[in-house]
Amino acid sequence: MSQPPAPLKLGVNIDHVATLRQARYSPDPTAHNAEPSLLAAAHEAEAAGADSITIHLRLDRRHIQDADVFEMRRGIHTKLNLEMGNSPEILAIALESRPDFVCLVPENRREVTTEGGLDVANADTSLARTVKTLQEAGILVSLFVDPEPRQILASSRIGADMVELHTGAFANAASDGGDEEFRLLTEAARLAHGEGLQVNAGHGINLCNLVKLMRVPHLAELNVGHHLVARGVFVGLSRSIRDFRTLMGSYPLDPA
């Protein structure tokens, strides 16, 4: 008898809480009066139902700072997911701080936010080395990839534990149906699951496109940040997360 699917988990990305802090306190985000507190936001997210806390330590340090990574590692009660580029500098911090998960993402200093998935299929050997190094330190590794078969297969080939499907194209098209983007996500999720990879998803997910997204099979965790923080401006971060969790509770809408 097959086991029922595990409940869909929610990772809450709090980068943009740090963005607000840096807008005023960028010279010294550790000042005693620097606000908002990233740790307080993480605790509020956890109390509202977050299964993990996600932060992205970028090379340009535009929001999350090195000290934040260690504060999150010491202070949160759930799991820590560190997003990072394939950089020796950030890898060293990951190995020292020991997050529960790392999600490797492409990084362009001029981008406003992550613009696409990693090109795992054409990556040099340093990506596979980084994956292995993190895993040898006891850190599970996810690769943020576009929903393309060659990227899924390449992720499996280099030994990743998980993929996070880039849902940005789907999110942008969802108001007009997004049927083709939904098909690509569905096929990618099935392929990744068949390869033994945990299937996560993230980028541009909100309450409006979530219902359709939940028809994608085999999803284990959604990583959501901007929408939750932006809606939190009006209703509070706790309610923003609770409302999202409530809607997620019906997953899977269309079991595969």
pLDDT at 221: 98
pLDDT at 177: 85
Catalytic residue among 166, 193, 203, 227: 203
pLDDT at residue 2 in the model = 52
Q: What is the assigned CATH class of domain 9-248?
A: alpha beta
Q: What is the pLDDT of residue 1?
A: 45
Q: Residues 174-223: pLDDT tens digits?
A: 888 899 999 999 999 999 999 999 999 999 999 999 999 999 999 999 99
C-beta contacts of 103-111 below 8 A and 24+ residues apart: 103/54, 103/141, 103/142, 103/143, 103/144, 103/162, 103/164, 103/200, 103/223, 104/130, 104/131, 104/141, 104/142, 104/143, 104/144, 105/56, 105/144, 106/144, 107/58, 107/59, 109/59, 109/60
Stretches where the chain sits below pLDDT 70 are: 1-5, 109-115, 253-256
| 147 closest CA partner among 179, 90, 186 | 186
What pLDDT, on the 0 to 100 scale, is given for residue 28? 85
The per-residue pLDDT for 89 is 97
Instruction: Check residue 29 and give its pLDDT.
Output: 85
For 78-140, give the DSSP string: SEEEEEE-S-HHHHHHHHHH--SEEEE----TT-SS--S---GGG--HHHHHHHHHHHHTT-E
Point out the catalytic residue in the list 16, 44, 46, 56: 56
What is the pLDDT at residue 217? 96
Task: Please give the pLDDT value at position 114.
Answer: 55
Please identify which of the residues 46, 71, 83, 107 carries the catalytic annotation. 83
Residue 203 catalytic? yes
Residue 113 CB partners (closer than 8 Å, separation 6+): 226
